[in-house]
Amino acid sequence: MSDVGRVWIVGGGPGAGDLITVRAARALAGADVVVTDRLGPSALLSDLGPHVEIVDVGKAPGHHRASQEEINDLLVERARRGLSVVRLKGGDPFIFGRGGEEVRACRAAGVPVEVVPGVSSALAVPALADVPLTHRGLVSGALIVHGHDRLPSSACAVAASGDCTIVILMGVMFLARHAADLVESGADPATPVAVVERGSTSRQRIVRSDLANIAQVAGDANVRSPAVIVIGAVAAGEFLGPLDAVVHTSIA
Ligand code: SAH
The catalytic position among 56, 170, 181, 188 is: 170
Under DSSP, the state recorded for 49 is -
Q: Which residues of 168-185 are buried (b: 16+ CB within 10 A; e: fewer)?
A: bbbbbebbeebbebbbee
pLDDT of residue 252: 44
Query: How far from each other are the two terminal CA atoms of the chain, in whole angstroms?
Result: 41
- pLDDT tens column, 193-222: 999 999 999 999 999 999 999 999 999 999
Q: Answer yes or no: is the C-beta of 169 below 6 A from any ligand 1 atom.
A: yes
Q: Which DSSP helix (H) or strand (E) runs through 144?
A: strand 142-146
Residues 123 and 76: their CA atoms lie apart, in Å, by 31
pLDDT band at 148 (very low <50, low <70, confident <90, very high): very high
User: Is 37 labeled as catalytic in the residue annotation?
Assistant: yes
Q: Provide the pLDDT confidence category of residue 224 given band limits of 50, 70 and 90.
A: very high
Choice from 39, 65, 166, 250 to test ligand 1 binding pocket (greatest atom count within 8 A of CB)? 39
Q: 169, 203, 225: which to mutate for ligand 1, most atoms within 8 A of CB?
A: 169
Question: Residue 38: its pLDDT value, please?
Answer: 84
CB-ligand 1 contact for 204 (6 Å cutoff): no
Please work out whether the CB of residue 99 comes within 6 Å of at least one atom of ligand 1: no
Distance CA 199, CA 187 (A): 26
d(CA 243, CA 252): 22
Element (DSSP H or E) covering residue 113? strand 113-116
How far away, in angstroms, is 81 Cα from ligand 1 center? 32
What share of the chain has pLDDT > 70, as a percent? 94
- Give CA angle at 247 (243, 249), nearest 5°: 140
State the average pLDDT over residues 126-134: 96
Annotated catalytic, 170?
yes
Tell me what the mean pLDDT of segment 123-130 comes to.
96
CA distance 53 to 5: 15
Q: What is the mean pLDDT of residues 22-41?
A: 94
- The active-site residue out of 59, 149, 173, 220 is 59
Q: Is 92 in the pocket of ligand 1 (CB under 6 A)?
A: yes
Q: With 0.85 as the threshold, say if the pTM is over it.
A: yes
- Measuring CA to CA, how many Å separate 111 from each of 27, 101, 102? 17, 14, 11
Whether 144 contacts 95, CB under 8 Å:
yes
| Protein residue with its CA nearest to atom 24 in ligand 1 | 227
pLDDT at residue 132 is higher than 60? yes
For the sheet containing 205-210, what is the strand order? 142-146, 165-169, 227-231, 192-197, 205-210
What pLDDT, on the 0 to 100 scale, is given for residue 65?
A: 81
Question: Does the beta carbon of 96 sit less than 6 angstroms from any atom of ligand 1?
Answer: yes
The DSSP code for 171 is -
- Give the mean pLDDT of the chain: 93
- How far, in Å, is the centroid of ligand 1 from the Cα of 170? 7
All domains in the chain, ordered by first residue: 6-119 (3.40.1010.10), 122-235 (3.30.950.10)
Q: Report, as an integer, the average pLDDT of 57-66.
A: 72
Task: Check: CB of residue 146 under 8 Å from CB of residue 96.
Answer: yes
pLDDT at 243: 72
- pLDDT of residue 246 exceeding 80, the answer is no
Looking at the predicted structure, is the pLDDT value of residue 68 above 90? yes
Exposure string for 132-155, b = 16+ CB within 10 A, e = fewer: bbeeeeebeebbbbebeeebeeeb
- Angle (CA) 180 184 190, round 5°: 70
Q: How many angstroms does the Cα of residue 226 sit away from the middle of ligand 1?
A: 6
| CB-CB contact of 114 with 7 (8 Å) | yes
Three-state SS for 74? helix
